[in-house]
Chain A
Amino acid sequence: MSKLSLRGVVKRFGDSTVCDGIDLDVEEGQMVCLIGASGAGKSTLLRCINLLEAVEDGEIFLDGEDIAVPGLNPQGVRARIGMVFQSFNLFPHMTALENAMLAPRRVHGRSRADLVGEVEELFTRFGLADRMHNYPDQLSGGQQQRVAIIRALAMRPEVMLFDEITSALDPQLVGEVLDVLLMLKQQGMTMVLATHEMGFARQAADKVCFLKDGKIIEEGPPEALFDAPQREETKAFLARALK
C-alpha cells in the first residue's frame, strides 16, 4: 500500500479546472517532484492533499484511508501532513522557537517545557540554534524558510509537502534550503515537492511528474523523464526550463 495515493482528483475554481483527474502514488520514504509551468496545478494539488482546498471529485488515500471524504474534519489529517509554502508564512509576532512550538502545543496539547528540548534539537540539526529566539523579520529568507520547515517538522508529520519553497529566495540562499530537503530524504521522510529546481529534481527525486493543464502528462524516474521524455509537451517544457 502506498503511503499516499490520489485517484481522479478534480479541483475547479469557478469555470477553470485546475486539477483535472490526477492519479498519483507516493511510497513511504519517497521524494516525488511535481514539475510544470506556473498555473499547471502543482500548488493547488498540494493544497488539496493538505485539505486546504476541498476537492470536487476523486479520492486521496493516506495509509489507505480516504481523507477527501466530504465532511471529514481536516485537522487530524493536517496534523499528519506538514506543508511548507513559497512565501514562508512564518507568524511575524512570534520568535522562531515559538513559531515551531505553537502547533504541537495547541494540537497535541503538549507543554512548552515538554517540547522545548525536542524543538531546540531540530533547530540545532538544521543549523539555526543561534537564531531560535529571533523574530522572522530578523532572519534571512533562507533562514526563514528553514524555520518554516522546522515548524512543520515539529508536528512529527508522516508526509511533507513543499510548495516551490525556493522560488522566493535569492539564488545564493537556495542551496541551504535544498540541503535540508536532502537531509530529510536521508531520514526517510515521505515528500512531495512542487518545484522549478530541475537540477535538484533530477539529482534527488525518486519520481518526477510533469503537469500540464491540471493533468499529469508524464511521470517516471528522473533519468527517464529528463533524458528521454516521451511526450512532445514534456520535451517542449524541458527545452525551455533547462535552457
Chain B
Amino acid sequence: MNTTKAAGLTRREKYEAQQRRRSLIVAATSTVVVVACIIIFIPMTPGWEKVQRSFFNGDVLADTFPKLLDAFKINLMIFAWSAPAIAILGLLIALARDAKSPALFPLRIFGATFTDVFRGVPVILTVYLIGFGIPGLGLPRPWNSPYIWGSLALILTYAAYVAEIFRSGIDSVHQSQRSAALSLGLSERQVMRDVVLPQAIRNVVPSQMNMLIALQKDVSLLSFIGPVEIFRQAGVFKSLTANFTPYVGAAIIFLIVTIPATRYADYLMAKQMRDRS
C-alpha cells in the first residue's frame, strides 16, 4: 500500500499544503516587520508630534466629519447628473467619429476636434474657462450657476475620454461579426446597433468603471469655481480650526466610496480575462 494515500492526500497535495503554509508564514512575518517599523520609526522623527496634532487630531475629526459627509452629498449630486450625460455624449461622439457616410463628414471632423481639444486641456483649465467664462456673459439666474457650467466642463472633458474608450470597444469586435451580420442582409446601422455596439459596450465596462472612479474624484475640481463640496468644506474647516485633519477626513470619505468601486472594477476586469481565455 502507498503510505501517502493512507493520510488521504496525494504526494502533490501534501507538497502544496506545505508550500501554502510556508508562504503564509513568510507573508505574515514580513507584514509584521514592516508595520512594526512604521509604528516604531515614524514617531521617532522630529516633526511627528506636530504632524500628528495637525493631521490626525481625533477631536477635530469627530467635530467635522458629519458636516463633511453632508458636503459630500453635493459631490454625489454633481456626479449623479454628470455620469449619464457623459455616457450618452461619449457614445454619440464615438459613433460620430466612425460615421462613414460622406454627408456626415462634418460630424466626423467635429468628433475628432472635440476629442483632441478636451483630452488636450487639463480638466481644471476647462473648469475655469467654462465655469467662469460662460456665466461671465451675464446670464440671468439660474443660468449663471457654477453647478451647471462646472458640470458641463466635466461632462465635455470626460465625454472625450469615454468616447475614445467606446471607440476602442467598437474596434475590439471582430470583423467577422460584421461580415456575418451583413451577409444576413442587415444595414450598416443595424449591424452597429444590434451586433457591434452591444458587444463593444460589454467589452469596455471595466475601463468605463475606472472613468467613473476618476470622475468621482474630479468633481472636487468644481470647488475652484464656487460650489462648497467636500474639498472646499474641508478647506473651510481647516481655516476655522487651524488644523489639517478635515482634509484627512475628506480623504477617508473618498476612499470609502472609491475602494469598493475600484475592487469591483478589478473584479470585472479579471472576470473578462477569464471569459476570454
Interface residues of A (CB under 8 A from B): 47, 50, 52, 74-76, 78-79, 81-83, 85, 87, 89-93, 102-103, 106-107, 148, 151-152, 155
Contacts and interface: CB of A to CB of B under 8 A. Distances in A.
A71 to B, nearest CB: 14
Given A75-B187, A79-B185, A92-B199, A102 B179 contact: no
27 contacts: A52-B179, A52-B182, A52-B183, A74-B182, A76-B185, A78-B182, A78-B184, A79-B184, A79-B185, A81-B183, A83-B180, A85-B180, A85-B183, A89-B177, A89-B179, A90-B180, A91-B181, A91-B194, A91-B199, A93-B199, A103-B185, A106-B186, A106-B190, A107-B184, A107-B185, A152-B184, A155-B184
A102 B194 contact: yes
Given A82-B184, A102-B194, 14 more contacts: A78-B185, A89-B179, A90-B180, A91-B181, A91-B199, A92-B199, A102-B184, A102-B195, A103-B185, A107-B184, A107-B190, A151-B184, A152-B183, A152-B184
A78 B183 contact: yes
A181 B261 CA distance: 51
Nearest to B176: A89
Contacts of B187: 75
Contacts of A81: 183
Contacts of A78: 182-185
A155 B184 CA distance: 7
Contacts of B183: 50, 52, 78, 81-83, 85, 152
A39 to B, nearest CB: 18
A90 B177 CA distance: 7
A133 B126 CA distance: 49
Highest count of chain A CB atoms <10 Å: which of B183, B187, B199: B183
Interface residues of B, number: 17
Contacts of A85: 176, 179-180, 183
Interface SS of chain B: helix
A102 B202 CA distance: 19
B84 interface: no
Contacts of A83: 180, 183
Given A91-B195, A93-B199, A93-B202, A103 B179 contact: no
Nearest to B187: A75
Q: Closest 5 A-B residue pairs measured CB to CB?
A: A79-B185, A89-B180, A103-B184, A83-B183, A78-B185
Nearest to A98: B194
B58 interface: no
A50 B183 CA distance: 7
Nearest to A79: B185
B198 interface: yes
Interface in B188-204: 190, 194-195, 198-199, 202
Highest count of chain B CB atoms <10 Å: which of A83, A87, A89: A89
Interface in B133-190: 176-177, 179-187, 190
B185 A91 contact: no
Contacts of B177: 89, 91
Contacts of B186: 75, 102-103, 106-107
Contacts of A50: 183
Contacts of A106: 186, 190, 194
A81 B187 CA distance: 15
A101 to B, nearest CB: 11
A103 B190 CA distance: 9
Nearest to A102: B194
A149 B202 CA distance: 26
A81 B183 CA distance: 8
A152 B186 CA distance: 12
A81 B184 CA distance: 8
Contact of A155 (B182, B185, B190): B185
Nearest to B198: A93
